[in-house]
C-alpha cells in the first residue's frame, strides 16, 4: 500500500507506534491523529521524552536497576542498610517494593527468572554478580523476593544453593499467606495451608 | 511523590505517555519499560517519528486534509476529478473513502459536525470555505458524506441550505440502506424502510 495515509510522516509515526505492545495499526492511527489535534508542544515533548528515556537510562553497575548514573540512587544512598539485599526479578518489582515504604536495604535485579520452557537459563540472569556481591563480605541477609510461581521457586532454590557456601549469610524469602483484604472462602487451599503453617504471633501484628 | 521511579527520565516519559488517550499511568510505565528492553534505535525512531509528525504535518489550504505541503496530494493530483467534492467530518474519513478505491474526486474536511450539545456551531467548522470553493465555479457536485446521526443530518441540512443558491450544483448524499453482509432479521426498521424506498435496479448491481 503506497502512501495509504497520504503522508509519509503519518505513515512513519503509525508504523513506529504500532510496534508498542498492545498497540495495533488502528490504535496507532488513533494515537497519531490525537497528537495532531493537540498542541505541537505536547507531541514534541512526548517524542523527546521517549528519546531521552532511551538514550539517557542505563543500568546500575551494582544492582542492575535502571539508573541515570553508573550507580543507582538506592545503591548510592548513605541512608540505606547496606547489609541487606532484596533479590527481585525486574525493575518494576524494585518500584513495587520501594512503593511499600517498608524497605531500607539494597536490591539485586536478576533480569528474569529461570524458565527452561522459555529458554532462560541461570547464566542469562544476574546470579553470578549476586554471588560476587555476597562474597565481597558486607551483606548479612539476602531476601529472595521472587514471584510465588514455579519459575520463582526454581530460581529461589538455584540461588539458595549458590549461596549455601556462605554459612554466615541469612537467606530469607517473602511470607506467603493470605493477601490483605482476602476472604478465607475465596483463598485457595495451598495458600491457606501455608498461612496456617507459617502463622505468626497475634501480638506481632501490632508492630508495623 | 518525588522520584517515584528513581529516574526523572523515566518519570518524564511515563508522564508524557500517560497523556495519550486510553493510556493510564500503569500502561505508560509498561510501555516505557518495554522501550527500555528493546534496541535503543527503536525507541529513538519512535520518539523522532512523533516529533516529525507533529512538526511536519499541516493542513491542506484547499480541503483541510492533513498534508506535508501547502496543498495535499489529492488536491494537487492532475488525475483527480476536480468537479466533484466529497464533504467529510474528519481526516480519518478521508482515509476511509480513499481506501474504498471508489472515489476519484476531491474532498472537503469540515473538522467536525454541528452539535449544540457539545457546543460546536457552524462557524467552528470549515463550511464557509466550502461555500467559497463552490462559488469559485469549477465544482458541479457536492457529496454530503457525513455520519447517519442526528449531528450528521443537522450538518447536512445546514450545508444544503448554504449551497441552495447555487442552482446548477448537484448536491447528493451517501446511500443509506443495509450494510453489505447484513441479514434482514437483524436490520432495524428505519434502515430497512429507507432501503426499500431507495431501492435500485437489480441490473445496476452488475456495474461496479
Give the tens place of pLDDT for each residue, B11-54.
Answer: 899 999 999 999 999 899 999 989 988 888 999 999 999 999 99
Residues of B in contact with A67 (CB under 8 A): 6-7
Radius of gyration of chain B (CA): 23
- pLDDT band with cut points at 50, 70 and 90 for residue A2: very low
Indicate the pLDDT class of residue A107, thresholds 50, 70 and 90: very high
Instruction: Indicate the pLDDT class of residue A169, thresholds 50, 70 and 90.
Output: very high
Give the best residue of B6, B56, B111 to mutate against chain A (max A CB count within 10 A): B6
Per-residue model confidence (pLDDT) at position B202:
66
What's the pLDDT score for residue B107?
95
Predicted local confidence at residue B106, as pLDDT: 95
Q: What SS3 state is found at B88?
A: strand
Say what the pLDDT of residue B206 is: 65
Q: What pLDDT is attached to residue A202?
A: 67
Q: What is the pLDDT of residue B37?
A: 85
pLDDT at A179 (0 to 100): 78
| Chain Cα centroid distance, residue B16 | 26
Model confidence pLDDT, tens digit, residues A29-44: 999 989 988 888 999 9
Please check whether residue B18 is in contact with residue B25, taking contact to mean a CB–CB distance below 8 angstroms. Answer: yes
Of the given ranges (B75-89, B169-183, B192-206), which has the lowest mean pLDDT?
B192-206
Helix or strand holding residue B159 (H, E): helix B150-163
For B164, phi then psi, to 5°, come to -55, -35
Give me the numbers of helices (H) and strands (E) for chain A, helices first please.
8, 6
Q: Shortest Cα distance from A180 to chain B (angstroms)?
A: 21
Q: How far apart are CA A199 and CA A175, in angstroms?
A: 10
Q: What is the pLDDT of residues B159-185, one digit of tens each?
A: 999 999 998 999 988 887 777 777 777
Interchain CB distance below 8 Å, B67 and A35:
no
CA distance A35 to A31: 6
- Other C-beta atoms lying within 10 Å of the C-beta of residue B190: 10
Please state the rounded mean pLDDT for residues B91-99.
87
Q: Which residues of A touch B58 (CB under 8 A)?
A: none
Element (H, E) at A62: none
Q: What percent of chain B has pLDDT over 70?
A: 93
pLDDT in tens, A44-102: 999 999 999 999 888 999 999 988 889 999 999 999 999 999 999 998 889 888 888 88
Rg of chain A in Å (alpha carbons) = 23
Q: What is the predicted pLDDT for the residue at A3?
A: 43
CA atoms within 13 A on the CB side of A170: 10
Asked if A186 and A150 touch (Cβ cutoff 8 Å), the reply is: no
Length of chain B: 208
* Integer Cα distance of B81 and A122 in angstroms: 66
- 0.80 surpassed by pTM: no
Task: Mark which residues 44-63 of B lie under 8 Å from A by CB.
Answer: 44-57
Mean pLDDT taken over chain B: 87
- Is B95 an 8 Å CB contact of chain A? yes
Residue of A nearest to B95 (CA): A5
Return the pLDDT at A4.
60
Residues of chain B numbered 106-145 and touching chain A (CB < 8 Å): none
Per-residue burial over A145-158, b if 16 or more Cβ lie within 10 Å, else e, is bbeeeebbbbbbeb
Residue B98, chain A, CB below 8 Å: the answer is yes
Amino acid at each position: 500500500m503506497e502512501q495509504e495515509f497520504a503522508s509519509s510522516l503519518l505513515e512513519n509515526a503509525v508504523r513506529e507506534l504500532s510496534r508498542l505492545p498492545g498497540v495495533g495499526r488502528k490504535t496507532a492511527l488513533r494515537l497519531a491523529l490525537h497528537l495532531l489535534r493537540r498542541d505541537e508542544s505536547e507531541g514534541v515533548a512526548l517524542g523527546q521524552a521517549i528519546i531521552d528515556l532511551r538514550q539517557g537510562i542505563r543500568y546500575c553497575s551494582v544492582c542492575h536497576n535502571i539508573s541515570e548514573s553508573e550507580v543507582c540512587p538506592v545503591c548510592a544512598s548513605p541512608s540505606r542498610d547496606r547489609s541487606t539485599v532484596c533479590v527481585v526479578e525486574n525493575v518494576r518489582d524494585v518500584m513495587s517494593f520501594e512503593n511499600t515504604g517498608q524497605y531500607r536495604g539494597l536490591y539485586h535485579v536478576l533480569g528474569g527468572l529461570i524458565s527452561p520452557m522459555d529458554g532462560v537459563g541461570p547464566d542469562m540472569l544476574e546470579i553470578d554478580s549476586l554471588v560476587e556481591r555476597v562474597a565481597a563480605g558486607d551483606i548479612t541477609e539476602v531476601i529472595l523476593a521472587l514471584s510465588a510461581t514455579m519459575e520463582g521457586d526454581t530460581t529461589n532454590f538455584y540461588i539458595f544453593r549458590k549461596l549455601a557456601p556462605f554459612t554466615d549469610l541469612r537467606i530469607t524469602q517473602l511470607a506467603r499467606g493470605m493477601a490483605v483484604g482476602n476472604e478465607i472462602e475465596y483463598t485457595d487451599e495451598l495458600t491457606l495451608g501455608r498461612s496456617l503453617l507459617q502463622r505468626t504471633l497475634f501480638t506481632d501484628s501490632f508492630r508495623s
